[in-house]
Structure 1
Amino acid sequence: MSRRRIAGRLAAVFAGALVLVGVVAGTAAARNPGAGTDHLSSYSSAEGHLAYQVHVPPSWRPDRSMPVMVAIHGCGMTGYGLNSMKSMTRFDDLADREGFLVVYPTQSLLRNGFLCWNSLSPDHQDRDRGEPELIAGAIRQVVERYGADPTRVHVAGASSGAGTAVILAATYPDLIATATSVAGGEYRFHRAEHDLDTVTPVDTAYLALEAMGPRARQVPLIVVQGDQDDVVPPFMAERLVRQWLVLGALIETGQPDVDTTPDEVERVEPPGAYPYTRTSHRVPGQASIDSYLVEGMGHTWSGPRASGTFTDRAGPDLTSIIWEFASERPLR
């Protein structure tokens, strides 16, 4: 599927929501951190300006080094305003119970008129450039300001934000402990979109390895895909899993040969909810990869309390699944 076609579908799906989205304008000067509050802040560099919000759980203390979850929204959304990643995921509720910080970056209309992250653009796929640099800079700012644990920084993204989460894992493996892609695709997919048969996940795995450079490390990954997604089709999830498996082999052995047989396949049929299949790869010496194929789900985030335009409460509780996976896998 071409980038033009994907962009066209995104425009059709999200244009209506843009009417409802209030652009989060301006940022507040950094306030003193306080437990049980939300703080607006921003990060600026030669690459531009990024507004974000930090949710600080009630259990936060200056001497308690907490994990960080960075939640990256999709097209037609904001991080913490109307139709937000904040309300969609309800990460704040879980953070208050489990004790971690949540960061919600918000895309600027100046960079994308549909509020998509530019994850298909080569200008935003490298370390120290574009949106990856801005989000990484914001993460470092949060870690320093709140005394967070730099070995437990996790990213989770939806749609275009999923693409950005994978880009961060490939370009900042020294910063990102785990990554989650919900309805996203592989790193450097734009190289393959016009000729999927010729440019394989093996080819893009080499590009991911090049992006990692001397910091090469396979980042543990969750891939979530609805089988009824007509914006990001299911083959994108399959390619991402394949890319990450090959990347792990390249990092460990220098060769792209890898056994793609999963270590575990579990089918779950919750009463009154969508069935889904979890496929797990636990390759010795490599990172964990869990993929979820949800039957009946479209281009949405799922969970029993999910709220917003692009949600489906009949799917699995992704927020809890993501945190359970991330909390067991610090950066080593």
Structure 2
Amino acid sequence: MTDLGEFGTDPGSLHADTYIPKSFPKNGPLIVVLHGSTQSAEGYDRGSGWSELADECGIALLYPEQRKTNNPLSSFNWFKSGDTSRGGGEPLSIRNMIKQVVDDHGIDPSRVFITGMSSGGAMASVMLATYPEVFAGGAIIAGLPYGSADNMMEALVRMKGYGGPSDRGLDALVRGATTFDGPWPTISVWHGGSDSTVDNSNADSIVRQWQNIHKVEGPPTREEQVDGFPRQVWCNVEGREVIEEYIIGGMGHGTPIMAGGDEGLGEEGK
């Protein structure tokens, strides 16, 4: 991983690292990877195996990183008013990082994606809502819906699955974040079925937040099994998959990976 260095204004006072494989093609894709609480960018990369996958697939990676001076747990501040709006705070810092990496490495701007785990997942929700035109899609892992909390106390309550905006309120929060009117990024939601840190009811809330945005309200278009795990899919009128949800039975708070075997990536956590 390489320090990004300068990337324009940094109102959120974040750090950034990149990983660009030697095999990276011109007009290749970029994935923005947001670590969780108590983690570093390097530690989350090592555990999740993203750089190994990037080598295999020719993907550029951008790792925004929180500073302990901003948050003592190294959490992204997904619940603070100054860090949840377009044009300021951590979202603008991340947006400026993305622009720098796209310009530096000839990345296809229509192939920029974002993913994050825990507080990083919640910040991925923030970025998808506040800068939807930047992303082709996003994967929110063990995260929370955009705008579901305005302070630390509310954040802790929402993490346990209590309270929060109504479905109509969730939808309105995304629509109110920008003047954007589509096409919207596709949404992938992942959560452990036994997560005791961020209750998996938040996964369903994220799905509901984006259903009206994508005009796919109601039950999933189809349900299927992928490697033994249930996947729910919502398709739009053109038949395109726009939202998916995985609840990984028996898994706690973390990122689902396959670490073992010849094709395994990352390091299995406890």
Query: What band does the TM-score fall into relative to the shorter chain?
Result: 0.7 to 0.9
Deviations 1:53-102 (CA, angstroms, capped at 9, x unpaired): 111112135xx11100111000000112xxx1211221111111211101
Point out which structure has higher relative CO (alpha carbons under 8 A, 6+ apart): 2
SS of the residue 2:17 aligns to? strand
* Conserved? CA contact 1:155–1:176, under 8 Å: yes
SS of the residue 2:134 aligns to? coil
SS of the residue 2:114 aligns to? strand
Mark the CA change 1:259 to 1:45 in structure 2 (over 3 Å): closer, same or farther.
closer
TM-score, scaled to structure 1: 0.72
Given candidates 240, 251, 256, the residue that maps to 2:206 is: 240
Instruction: Please say which of residues 220-229 and 183-192 is displaced more in the overlay.
Output: 183-192
What's 1:222 paired with?
Answer: 188
* Conserved? CA contact 1:173–1:215, under 8 Å: no
SS of the residue 1:297 aligns to? coil
Shift of 1:45: 1.5
Bigger Rg, structure 1 or 2 = 1
TM-score, scaled to structure 2: 0.87
* Conserved? CA contact 2:233–2:241, under 8 Å: no
Q: Which amino acid aligns with 1:259?
A: E
Matches within 5 A, 1:244-255: 244-249=210-215
Query: Distance between the aligned counterparts of 1:244 and 1:113, measured in 2?
Result: 31
Mark the CA change 1:206 to 1:266 in structure 2 (over 3 Å): closer, same or farther.
same
SS of the residue 2:14 aligns to? strand
Deviations 1:192-227 (CA, angstroms, capped at 9, x unpaired): 877966731221211111113135442101100111
Q: Does 1:100 align with 2:47?
A: no
Q: Does 1:76 align with 2:38?
A: yes
What's 2:262 paired with?
Answer: none
What's 2:224 paired with?
Answer: 266
* Uncovered stretches (5+) of structure 2, i.e. residues with no partner: 260-264
SS of the residue 2:4 aligns to? strand
Q: Which amino acid aligns with 1:94?
A: L
Mark the CA change 1:48 to 1:222 in structure 2 (over 3 Å): closer, same or farther.
closer
Q: Does 1:299 align with 2:263?
A: no
Query: Distance between the aligned counterparts of 1:122 and 1:211, measured in 2?
Result: 12
What's 1:187 paired with?
Answer: 146
Please, what is the CA RMSD of the aligned residues? Answer: 2.2
Q: Which amino acid aligns with 2:76?
A: W
Q: Which amino acid aligns with 1:291?
A: E
Aligned residue-pair number = 256
